[in-house]
Structure 1
Amino acid sequence: MEMIGKPIQSYTIISRDIIKPAIPTPSHLQTYNLSELDLLIGKLYLPMLLLYPNKDSCSLTAQDKTRVLKNSLSQSLTKYNPFAGRLPTLKTPYVDCNDKGVVFLEARSEANLEEFLLSLVQDENLDNLFADDMVCNNSPHSTNIVGIQLNHFACGGVGLAVSMSHLVGDGCTLGSFVNHWASVARYGSADHKEVLPLNPHFIHVPRTDLSE
């Protein structure tokens, strides 16, 4: 894991990691063709930001939270094969589900979560909470499908920022993924009987020419 010390305004990136699926993607699922409608959307990242205040009842340290999120993310990605893949080029009409993984950054803020929420410059700082600036149209040259950034506030609260390329889904897709991830994180295993049953189906568009 690479350790970083680059400040971003009031934020400092403290680690960068790549999280890969716990189980390799089967060979017959390693190419996910995009539809013509998907391609019309272009390179747009859907952002989701989840904020959690620090609770005295939570015994997990910051390191514990990071470990739980990474382990459960790895398990969850086995059902979302395209998320851990890459676009071979910005114009290629398919996702290579090559298990290269999801970028997972950690950042530290000197501000408390409450101060952040009340800040008059909140909108200017929001983009800094997302991995590699993957917000809306900010990263048109990125070939990543999903990016995660876990932001630790001085008060012990955290902000979990998730970015997903609109090429592979919409807001419902993103919400479904985060709900499943949260369920795995809560119960510790994707095989736990209480984990939300989920078998997402990515509609595969037949295409004979993948040379673009």
Structure 2
Amino acid sequence: MKQPSLKKQIIIFLLQNLLVVLLIGGFIIYPAAKNIFELKKNIEQTHDELEQEYTKTKHLKKSLQELDSVKEVTAQFTSSTIPVGSELPMITLFEQLAQRYDIDQNLSLGTQDTVRYAMAKSNISDKYYVFSFLNHGTYKHHLQFLRELESMPFYVIIDKLQWSTHGSGPTNDVTLRFDALVYAHATQ
């Protein structure tokens, strides 16, 4: 058998080497590179998830640290409102206040329909009571009565005051009409 020429031997050798390189590249290097890139992608994804969890944990720790201040603010809110169902003690308190300042008082509590209408009108979802006052007395006594309402431990919100006088002179009676809104909180 005749040996192929040197040129053919070199070409065959190069083709064999090329085939070996392609086989090594196709069956060893490519899958390894593919696995490396998938691993890199998984590491980045895991890093992002851990970063998100760290951020959530950090916010949770901050929230837990601020919980005491939130409780203090909530306690302040609770102290500025009255408990739900304490309408009768409120009416008694307002009547005693009127007696203290020698004011003849007609007081009514808004019905549930009135309260619902007022809540729907003002888009307020909190519970509150509407007390309607019709007071007769001297101007000075009315001012003292209003000042006392301002100093109550809970908020008494008065939208507008309607004053009317009867007769003339400094000692004549004055009629004061207003609605007072008092927020209520649920009892635990």
* TM-score in terms of structure 2 length: 0.29
Please state which structure has a larger fraction of its residues in helix.
2
| Structure of higher RCO (CA pairs closer than 8 Å, 6+ residues apart) | 1
* TM-score in terms of structure 1 length: 0.27
